[in-house]
Amino acid sequence: MKSLRTVLFALSTLLFSLPPAAAQQFINVLTGGTAGIYYPLGVALSQIYTKAIPEAKSTVQSTKASVENLNLLQAGRGEIAFTLGDALSDAWKGNEEAGFKTPLKKLRGVAAIYNNYVQIVASADSGIQTLADLKGKRVSVGAPKSGTELNARAIFKAAGLSYKDLGKVEYLPFGESVELIKNRQLDATLQSAGLGVASIRDLATAVKIVVVPIAAEVVAKVGDPAYQAAVIPAGTYEGQTQDVPTAAISNYLVTHEGVPADLVYKMTKAMFENLDQMVAAHAAAKGIKLENALKGMPVPLHPGAERFYKEKGLIK
């Protein structure tokens, strides 16, 4: 009996002396709709993390994109998210009209990535050639309170239009918008995404399309530095034979203050060391460049990301 007690005591002593197991780390990547660009890039990012940070379990979540992503981050329900720059700025300020009831002060920046292009695409049969032609037409402006929908409000306002001027407004994600145009239930869709987004490529192969120009003077009237005049190059989509002027807005990767600095450092480093995998997932990732990573960041940088940029000489 005594020897059994001795063995049990020895075992308990050994167990208490063992170092505690490292807590499992989780990286939930918040993206957007599956027909957009955030989602395939998020999948690629998650795969990069799985290999580069084996101690962390990485998952991908499809969402309504920017606004939902930022609110989820603030609530601690994700570790990294894709967002448009204007939505990020609105979140930091607490713009209720944009979908942020209070300022989201837990947000922290990771990197500026590629530009989104506001792409207004109509079926050729609709007769739409200009922004003014959208009056009385059936138009999808993106999921409610998404970054795309915020872009739609800003561009239409700058062009002297409102949703009331449209014949019908649909708040739909990219894929659903395209299906309705194919079925002649919708005339046009506004999609804020990287060039060559799958949804518009799909539409252009099914019906003849018109990419509606957004003139530089309209972009200037938005009055937000996040919006810059840009061009959708000829040949981006089937049947698009000319360059089309539009607006571009920077995308960002964002985290929150509760994510450990060491983990954010590894996440930032892993992405920039594996950009080829991001480009393989979608050509829009060609726009991700280390030298532009801090460009126009509207929120404070996360200390983990800051450490990486100091190592690279971007921060002195």
26-80 pLDDT, tens digit per residue, is 999 999 989 889 999 999 999 999 999 999 999 999 999 999 999 999 999 999 9
Choose among 36, 44, 25: nearest CA to 263. 25
Using pLDDT thresholds of 50, 70 and 90, give the confidence band for residue 234. very high
Who has greater pLDDT, 211 or 8?
211
**3-state secondary structure string, 141-172?**
CCCCCCHHHHHHHHHHHHCCCCHHHECEEECC
Interatomic CA distance for residues 206 and 197, integer angstroms:
15
CA distances in angstroms from 182 to 74, 178, 271, listed in the order given: 38, 6, 37
Give the least confident one: 15-24, 237-246, 258-267. Answer: 15-24
- The span from the CA of 287 to the CA of 127, in Å, is 33
pLDDT of residue 18: 41
Do 67 and 147 contact (CB within 8 A), yes or no? yes
Name residue 66's beta-bridge partners.
none
Domains of the chain: 26-114+250-311 (3.40.190.10), 116-249 (3.40.190.10)
14 by Cβ neighbours in 10 Å (0-12 / 13-18 / 19+) ranks as exposed
Phi, then psi, of 216 in degrees rounded to 5: -55, -35
Instruction: Return the closest-CA partner of residue 159 out of 119, 132, 126.
Output: 132
- pTM of the predicted structure, to 2 decimals: 0.83
Q: CA gyration radius for the chain?
A: 23
Cα separation of the two ends of the chain? 67
Sequence-ordered list of residues with C-beta below 8 angstroms from that of 111, at least 6 positions apart, any chain: 252, 253, 268, 271, 272, 288, 293, 294, 305
List of E strands, 206-243: 209-212, 227-232
